[in-house]
Structure 1
Amino acid sequence: MNVFDEFFWRGLINQTSDDENLRFHLKTPGRKMYCGFDPTARSLHIGNLVPLLALARFARAGHVAYALMGGATGLIGDPSGKDKERQMIDKETLFASADNIRKQVESLFTNLDCVENLRVVNNYDWTNSLSTIEFLRDVGKYFTVNYMMAKDSVKNRIGREDTGISFTEFSYMILQSYDYYYLSEHHDLTLQIGGSDQFGNITAGLELIRKKSGKECFALTFPLITTATGAKFGKSEKGAIYLDPEMTSPYAFYQYWMNADDRDVINYLRYFTLLDQSEIAALETELAERPHERAAQRRLAAETTTMIHGKAELENVQAVTEALFGKGDIKAVNAKTLGQALESAPGKGYATLGALPDLPGLLVDLELCSSKSQARKDIKAGGIYINNERLQDETYTPAITDFIGERILLVRKGKKNYGVVFLGE
């Protein structure tokens, strides 16, 4: 299948500069395309997965995918989709973020077995040496203010008298266009991809290339992803879902996809996995016939978690998930992953084993029981579990071997009320 057709059936094409000619262009292997990522945060988030996976789809189809780190454009600030000026970021912070993002991109392509067709570049490398005169004379001369003001990213800000747009952000379009021209000239790139809000910036680059070199190049943008409720995709109660495991744990990452609405999950399988049409169609049938089994959600969560965090981390997450539902040995799971899963549960740290109170006191400390007398009643009634095993001895004192990874003791009251004891804190 032509990769253009794959994008089409997946619903990943919002606009192109020329459907027919781009499709024909992509029939030849070895075409080069890029997408830019401004390192305004130290990690990408799942909203970036659409363009990231698009690059990977091209790479797997035999093309060469360029991920551009916006070391220069990130210092300026993209006005697209913003109703006010971005906060300026200092160079050291921006470059550190760019390095983190580079590693994330390389990790994804490695997990998808197409890293040999990935190139990572930074626009600071060719922009930093430009003098003001060169930039204005050799690049800015090809842009009219009239043309720039007609673009949505500028027009929407011009209409806001309270904020307007600075000359700095007004110039962002020219810098991004120069990136496309430079990559076209020096790396033979012929396609730039991006979100729907980037179409104006990308087509501005096409115009610059046409005027300066006359080459035929293309633009492709993706639709804005929203949930069935109309909410912005990629947000949870705690905020954005990041690819960095220190910012969003692999367990929380997995659970985000597991909690996908039935109305969204099939589209998400098209957008965010490499599963083919027949596999997704089978999952769609299964969803319609047995929605309670959540097979589509489980496959989606497994595919995305493996892509970002690897197979070993997926297995840790799945083992913890099963154990928390009473399936499998809770003491055999990865202690760090278990801690991530229980981070919202009441927790209490104790420096040593000797510092732990008796079991009724522990239940009170964890806010699972209102008093020691109530705790004793619950223990006697068989409603208290330690590491998923019922305990009816109120004199119980945990040993170091009871702690998962010698650090975590899982305490449960009833079926769903958890508390966590941390040793050494």
Structure 2
Amino acid sequence: MVISKNNKIDLIQTLEYRNIINQITDKNNLKNIIMKKNINLYCGFDPTADSLHIGHLIPLITLKYFQKLGHKPIILLGGATGLIGDPSFKSQERKKQSIYLINEWISKITLQLKYFLDFNCGYNSAIIVNNYDWFNKMNILSFLKKIGKYFYINQMMNKECIKNRINKNIQGISFTEFSYNLLQSYDFTYLNKYFDVILQIGGSDQWGHIVSGIDLVKKIYKKQVFGLTNKLITKNDGTKFGKTENKTIWLDPLKTNPYNFFQFWLNINDSLVYNFLKMFTSIEINTIKDLQKSNKNSIKKNSAQNMLAEYMTCLVHGKNALESAKKITNNIFYKKLDDLSKNDFDMLLVNGINNVILENKNYSLQEILILSKLANSRSHAKNMIESNSIYINNKKNSSILYYFTKKDKIFNHFTLLRRGKKNFCLLYWK
């Protein structure tokens, strides 16, 4: 934490120092307010899946910073806005879901949120609200009369998320999604009135909605409120982490198990890892800088990645899951297979790497590569075998006509199949 001249923690500067803040409204005024008194703030999440993913972590971590200093975090789950769909930076309209499914997703997400914030710490205990509770009681005429009169079409058309859809999508944007901005803006006014919320945080793609909410509060209640956006987390190729992209890393262990979660962070590119240590962890900045310097001349090239992987896996899944992920990683990357016990293989099967359960019959290597999803076709499988990138129990196999035999089955049941250095599948023979 950064300490100000009057020996108080400067939270805004701390978040900037850790490269967490993207944009902020009236920074100096907000900074003065939160250093003098505790505030209520909120962040909204639309339930568009049955789990949060790593793209949601930075807003949650930001709320956690505020709560540690006595401020009260409020999570808004968009039971209503989830029915509409946020058009921000989406090339096409989201698939509409039923209220029953959205409520089911809200229940699961609620359980996940309780791992990140304290919901039983007194005056600044975190709370969860659902905007369906107030929108469900409002009819279209009262909404248009009460809220719609403050929004002007020409201004809304200039918002980036609207312009992108109109200019790049042949169908443009439906009125349903066009109205999303009004709904999120009203959320801020509702929370300001009934929960005394003066700050909204969100990803940088929410900036337009947040500013609209700030303006609406000012027009209706003549009050100043604030907005803060986090930097979006991007992958090695520069695209953002999101559940509509490939290989989403979910927070639900049933969707992304702790081993794969650990491996994701372990394989973060060197160009990103030190910034991620700043953003995602509470490790001292000087420690991160020292680590970066030492790694330039160190043979332990993954020490920063190891630190990040251990911290994040423990944060999301707990100590036991972290120890399991580390043991699995050690077993398949650093140990000889001869040193693994049957219990080690059982653990790999239940908690670890991708696996396929097979009938005890003859399979060709090409068939298994497709079944294990290490290859997407026979020609793809053949090319990988011929290029010497396939290993059976850590031994290279370059025979395109190979069939599995009893000698490939460790403890009569297990075969470790590998493509390249990092893509594994455990075969379990019944």
Supply the distance in 1 between the matched residues of 2:128 and 2:351 (Cα, whole angstroms).
32
| Alpha-carbon distance, 1:293 to partner | 3.8
CA distance 1:123–1:366, change in 2 (3 Å): same
Unaligned segments of structure 2, at least 5 residues? 1-8, 370-391, 396-404
Q: CA offset at residue 319 of structure 1? A: 1.0
Match of 2:154 in 1: 146
- CA 1:86/1:342 → structure 2, altered by over 3 Å: closer, same or farther? closer
Q: Relative to structure 2, which stretch is displaced further, 270-279 or 177-186?
A: 270-279
Match of 1:335 in 2: 346
Aligned residues: 386
Shift of 1:153: 1.8
CA distance in 1, matches of 2:134, 2:89: 26
Q: Does 1:88 align with 2:99?
A: no
Which residue is 2:358 aligned to?
A: 349
Distance 1:348 1:159 in 2: 48
Query: What's the CA shift for 1:274?
Result: 2.0
Distance 1:191 1:38 in 2: 18
CA–CA distance in structure 1, aligned partners of residues 71 and 110 of structure 2: 19
In 2, the alpha carbon distance for the partners of 1:236 and 1:181 equals: 30
Counterpart of 1:2, as a letter, is: D
Q: Which residue of 1 aligns with 2:414?
A: 409
Q: Quick one: distance in 1 between partners of 2:358 and 2:137?
A: 54
Q: Partners in 1 of 2:87 and 2:193 — Cα distance?
A: 26
Checking the alignment, whether the CA contact within 8 Å between 2:21 and 2:228 is kept in structure 1 is yes
Deviation, structure 1 residue 410: 5.0
Q: Hey, what does 1:422 align to over in structure 2?
A: 428
Q: Is the contact between residue 20 and residue 231 of structure 2 (CA under 8 Å) also seen in structure 1?
A: yes
Say whether 1:282 aligns with 2:299.
Answer: no
Separation (CA, whole Å) in 2 of partners of 1:118 and 1:207:
26
Query: Contact between 2:22 and 2:231, CA under 8 Å: does it hold in 1?
Result: yes
- Residue pair 1:366, 1:419 contacting (<8 A) in 2 also: no
After superposition, where does 1:351-370 map in structure 2 within 5 Å?
A: none
Superposed, 1:13-412 pairs within 5 Å as 13-109=21-117, 117-160=125-168, 162-233=170-241, 239-290=247-298, 292-324=300-332, 325-326=334-335, 330-333=341-344, 335-343=346-354, 347-350=356-359, 409=414
CA-CA distance at 1:134 after TM superposition: 1.5
The structure-2 alpha-carbon separation of the partners of 1:169 and 1:4, relative to structure 1 and needing over 3 Å to count, comes to: same
Q: Give the stretch that moved more between structures: 183-192 or 293-302.
A: 293-302
How far apart in 2 are the matches of 1:72 and 1:418?
42
Q: CA deviation at 1:108?
A: 2.6
Alpha-carbon displacement from aligned partner over 1:211-255 (angstroms, at most 9, x marks no partner): 111112101112233345434346999521111111111111110
The answer (yes or no) to whether the contact 1:62–1:117 under 8 Å persists in 2 is no
| 1:50-99 Cα distance to aligned partner (Å, 9 max, x none) | 11211112112221111110000011111111122222111111111111
The letter of the residue matching 1:422 is Y
Rate the CA distance shift 1:148–1:281 in 2: closer, same or farther, 3 A: same
User: How far, CA to CA, are the matches of 2:366 and 2:215 in structure 1?
Assistant: 66
Describe the SS at the equivalent of 2:177.
helix
CA spacing shift, 1:412–1:195, aligned 2, 3 Å: closer
Task: Indicate conservation of the 8 Å contact 1:259/1:297, yes or no.
Answer: yes
How far is the alpha carbon of 1:398 from its aligned partner?
8.8
Q: Distance in 1 between matches of 2:408 and 2:229?
A: 61
Offset from partner CA, 1:350-394 (integer Å, 9 cap, x none): 5xxxxx68xxx89989979xxxxxxxxxxxxxx9799xxxxxxx9
| Cα shift readout 1:243-296 (whole Å, capped 9, x = no counterpart) | 111111111111000001111100111121222213322322232232534111
The AA in structure 1 aligned to 2:20 is: L
Contact 2:23 2:228 in 1 (8 A): yes
After superposition, the CA RMSD in angstroms is 3.5
* C-alpha distance in structure 2 between counterparts of 1:222 and 1:385, whole Å: 43
C-alpha distance in structure 2 between counterparts of 1:142 and 1:418, whole Å: 56
The letter for the 2-side match of 1:88 is K
Amino acid at match of 2:266: M
The residue matched to 2:41 in structure 1 has which SS?
strand
Q: 1:395 to 1:40 in 2, by over 3 A?
A: closer
Contact conserved, 2:118 with 2:125, CA < 8 A, in 1? no
Question: Secondary structure of 1:289's match?
Answer: coil
Q: Percent identity, aligned pairs only?
A: 37
Preserved contact between residue 10 and residue 271 of structure 1 (Cα < 8 Å): yes
- Cα distance 1:152–1:100, how it changes in 2: closer, same or farther (>3 A)? same
In the superposition, relative to structure 1, how do residues 311 and 137 fare at CA in structure 2: closer, same or farther (>3 Å)?
Answer: same
The structure-2 alpha-carbon separation of the partners of 1:233 and 1:169, relative to structure 1 and needing over 3 Å to count, comes to closer
Q: Tell me, yes or no, if the aligned pair for 1:320 and 1:338 is still in contact at 8 Å.
A: no
Check conservation: 1:84, 1:157, Cα contact below 8 A: yes
2:20 corresponds in structure 1 to 12
CA contact (8 A) 1:33 1:192 kept: yes
- Give the 3 Å change call, closer, same or farther, for CA 365–72 of structure 1 in structure 2: closer
